[in-house]
Structure 1
Amino acid sequence: MANVLYLCGNAVAGWFGDSDDVPAQQKPSLYRKIVVLIPAYKEDKVILDSVAANLNQQYPADRFDLLVIADSFKPETLQTLRTQPVRVLEVSFEQSTVQKSINAALASLGENEYDIVVISDADNHMAPDFLHRVNLAFDAGWRAVQGHRVAKNTNTSVAIFDAMNEEVSNHIYRMGQRALGLSAQLIGSGMAFEPEAMKRGMSQLKTMGGYDKELEISLLSEGIHIGYLEDAYIYDEKVQNLEVFERQRTRWIAAQVHFVKTYFSLGMRELFRGNYHAANAVLKFLIIPRTLLLALLFTSCLLGIVTGFKPLWSWTGWMLGVLVFAMVISIPGYLWKKLSIQDLATFPKLVFRMIRSLLKLKTAGKSFLHTPHGETKPDATGQ
């Protein structure tokens, strides 16, 4: 019940709060020097398009740099990248992870060379005004902010549901949290930081996956709160098929389990210190993933109906209704318009893949499960 009430409370709050955006027409006090770090592992298919899109910023060209952290790229891709007005840092690790790439890039930066560090995935396209909006937020006093990551594609059923899941998280864990006076949750890209604070946070990482969540707890423990820029868009490629969906969710759930094991005691200490931002960051990871929670409640309710055990079906049915309500009000209208009967038929398959991903957690905790980008499938259901 606590899971459902937490999600519903944040979902409702998200409709009554405001984001931390500064009006785009406002002139900044100064144009801070920004570096956009783009960690990329074998992303030859998408990196050149992303670089071209991300250079198109409404921000002085001499006040921002793109730094591609190229891990295991083809020689011809590296050669082409070096003809572009970007910085390229080649890296190679015995076991590649995003955090290793980011730490290598941070170490390569000169002292006080940049005022803001932005993180963008290899497939991400920043909206033309993204850096301008980030700079305005830092003008307003923020030292860490999360932008609004939205779907770049909705070309398969899996991609549509992945896009919906992203927007539910945006509404609940960013808009809802800010409405309640708490810090927004980081999401791995489209986020910006004060360089020294980020370096301190990244130097304390303990796990292989979910570096953004560790960075979040580190910043919050230090007293650095995280704002949310609803109007600062960054477009992210959504998962297009069931195999990649399962691999990605396996990695996410494994990171969540390990995060709770590692940081639960820290969260309790921060709670007793009165640092509700940091304590809440840990509390959120006790929440069962929404798709699994839906499946659990639906199965329990169905079992209660079949067996005629009224307390079971009435209680779980009530919670299922509240959870569905929370998710429905968190999904923007434009995504509902994309949904078809054929798409709905894919949802049970996603639930099955989520459940199956639980069987792979041990492996996921020991290896880096890369999510490939730029891969399409002819089957529109994404199967």
Structure 2
Amino acid sequence: MNIQDIIKLIWYVFQIAIGYNLVLPFLLLVLYAIVKKKTEHNLTSKPEADYAIIVTAYEQTTLIPAVVASLLKLNYSNFLIYIVADKCDVSDLKFEDDRVIVLRPEQTLSSNTRSHFYAINRFKRAHERLTIIDSDNLVDPNYLLELNKLFDLGFSAVQGVRDAKNLDTLYAALDGARDIYYHFYDGKLLYNVGSSATLAGSGMAFTTQLYKECLGHLDITGAGFDKILQKEIVSRGYRIAFANDAIVFDEKTSKSDQLVNQRARWINTWFKYFSFGFGLIGKGIFQLNWNKFLFGLILLRPPLFIFLLIGLFCMLLNLILNPFLALIWFLGFVIFIIGFILALAINNTDARIYKSLWGIPTFIFYQVLSLLKVRNANKHSVATKHFHADKKTQ
């Protein structure tokens, strides 16, 4: 084999490695349609499991009263709320309900998991389960009840849905569209075809024992603790369930600079942790474990805009090198677009999101700009600063 053949082989392998990402969501949808079965939840009455609700805040506490008000409206009684106000002024965080515990670390933690374990080490009682909520979230009143349905089936880790709280700007609406796409394919479909839902950073719950087992021995800084956590969970042989009706309302990015900084951190975490996928794929093959294999495949996938832009480059280059392959790429994009639209249609998407789709090129442009900040992404901020004024609680 000469050097030209080797280059050609590498080129083909590269195209396959990128191109499968265009059609994999649609293949998951087809598989889901084939194996789809209605999950029968155990409806027998059980004592309420004891939850610790951990709310983390960094520098900003503006939205904390709203999230606490939302949590206190839960149709549930057996829980305590732990607010970890890292590097925050807590003088205004006064709550009459004794179920709300405000914790102000003596030293700056600058880490999600440090904040979580700061709360865990100060639990007022031995909570059976914990759920993680961001300081900009609101929750559906039935949030814990819906999580319980999956825990009662024997799962130890559950991811809920992060629905858009604000769709008032182009960026927020497009961010909401992205979340719908990922929740559908990386959440609902992955779980229902026998693998695990990916974790989304908040709106997720675990048995306290599993969370401590997975992360208690690690000191994680910067963004991406959820990437490490999901790898640890799946590696141990657990599946992460998806609770389609356990809803948290999440603040979406509303400004371009906010979008760039946030995506820079997210892209940084992919480059940092995507290699986890190789290990899980290997374990899946040798252990004949479908959950590990498919989940590992998902972890290798680049951020959406990256593989779309690389795919577009491959298609245009093949117009010169190999028109037949260019046609294959075109068909791949058609399949991807169909899958994207189906995800929106199946989820009864808000009309404002459909109207925002014309802005996708602008959205991608700002994410390309975020690539310039990837190397120092975690130095810009350890949390997204929000500017949307919350006018009501759910």
State how far apart, in whole Å, the 1-side matches of 2:232 and 2:321 are. 49
| Corresponding residue SS for 2:307 | helix
Q: Which residue of 1 aligns with 2:310?
A: 296
Check whether the contact 2:32–2:192 (CA below 8 A) recurs between aligned residues. yes
Does the CA-based 8 Å contact 2:164-2:249 persist in structure 1?
A: yes
1:359 aligns with 2:378: no
Q: CA deviation at 1:256?
A: 1.1
Q: Secondary structure at the match of 1:372?
A: coil
Aligned-residue offset at 1:147: 1.1
The match for 1:150 among 148, 163, 166 is: 163
Task: Check whether the contact 1:146–1:190 (CA below 8 A) recurs between aligned residues.
Answer: yes
Which residue of 1 is the match for residue 216 of structure 2?
203
Q: Which amino acid aligns with 1:199?
A: K
Deviation of residue 326 (structure 1)?
1.5
- The question of whether the paired residues in 2 share the 8 Å contact of 1:28 and 1:135 is answered with no
Provide closer, same or farther for how the CA distance between residues 15 and 141 of structure 1 changes in structure 2, counting only shifts above 3 A.
same
Higher mean alpha-carbon deviation, 4-13 vs 215-224, is at: 4-13
Q: How high is the TM-score relative to the length of structure 1?
A: 0.87
Query: Which of 167, 171, 175 is 2:188 aligned to?
Result: 175
Q: Is the 8 A contact 1:14 1:175 kept in 2?
A: no
Closer, same or farther in 2 for the Cα pair 1:349/1:251, shift >3 Å? same
Secondary structure in 2 matching 1:150: strand
SS in 2 for 1:76: coil
Change (3 A) 1:339 1:194: closer
Alpha-carbon contact 2:128-2:207 (below 8 Å) kept: yes
The 1-side partners of 2:331 and 2:205 are apart by 40
Q: Distance in 2 between matches of 1:168 and 1:223?
A: 26
How many angstroms does 1:322 deviate by? 1.4
Task: With the length of structure 2 as denominator, give the TM-score of the two structures.
Answer: 0.84
Between the aligned partners of 1:359 and 1:231, the Cα distance in structure 2 is 37
- Is residue 143 of structure 2 the alignment partner of residue 130 of structure 1? yes
CA-to-partner distance for each residue in 1:281-302, whole Å, 9 max, x for gaps? 3321211222232333345445
Shift of 1:303: 5.8
Give the deviation of 1:18 after TM superposition. Answer: 5.5
Deviates further, 40-49 or 282-291: 282-291
Contact (CA 8 Å) 1:178, 1:184: kept in 2 or not?
yes
Sequence identity of aligned pairs in percent? 25
- 1:277 shift after superposition: 2.4
2:109–2:115 Cα contact (<8 Å) kept: no
| SS of the residue 1:338 aligns to | helix
| CA deviation after TM superposition for structure 1 residue 309, in Å | 6.3
How far is the alpha carbon of 1:28 from its aligned partner?
3.1
- The letter for the 2-side match of 1:68 is I
Q: 1:13 to 1:237 in 2, by over 3 A?
A: farther
1:46-96 per-residue CA deviation (whole Å, 9 max, x = no partner) reads 111111111101112xx1111111112224333x24776401111254560
2:71 aligns with one of 54, 71, 92: 54
Structure 1 equivalent of residue 25 of structure 2: 7
Pairing partner for 2:114 from 89, 96, 100: 100
Q: 2:147, 2:353 → 1: CA distance?
A: 32
Once the two structures are overlaid, the 10-residue window that deviates more, 219-228 or 46-55, is 219-228
Between 1:362-371 and 1:283-292, the stretch displaced more is 362-371
Of 22, 31, 44 in structure 1, the residue corresponding to residue 41 of structure 2 is 22
Find the aligned partners of 2:329 and 2:323 in 1 and give their Cα distance. 10
Gaps of 5+ in 1: 377-383
Instruction: Name the SS for the 1:149 alignment partner.
Output: strand
In structure 2, stretches of 5+ residues that fail to align are: 1-18, 390-394
Q: Deviation at 1:15?
A: 5.4
Q: How far apart are the structure 2 equivalents of 1:95 and 1:31? A: 32
One-letter amino acid of the counterpart of residue 294, structure 2:
N
Is 1:76 equivalent to 2:95 in the alignment? no
> Amino acid of the residue matched to residue 91 of structure 2?
E
- 2:25 maps to a residue whose letter is L
Q: Which residue of 310, 315, 328 corresponds with 1:315? A: 328
Per-residue deviation, 1:166:
0.5
**AA aligned opposite 1:44:** T
How far the C-alpha of 1:216 sits from its partner, in A, is: 1.1
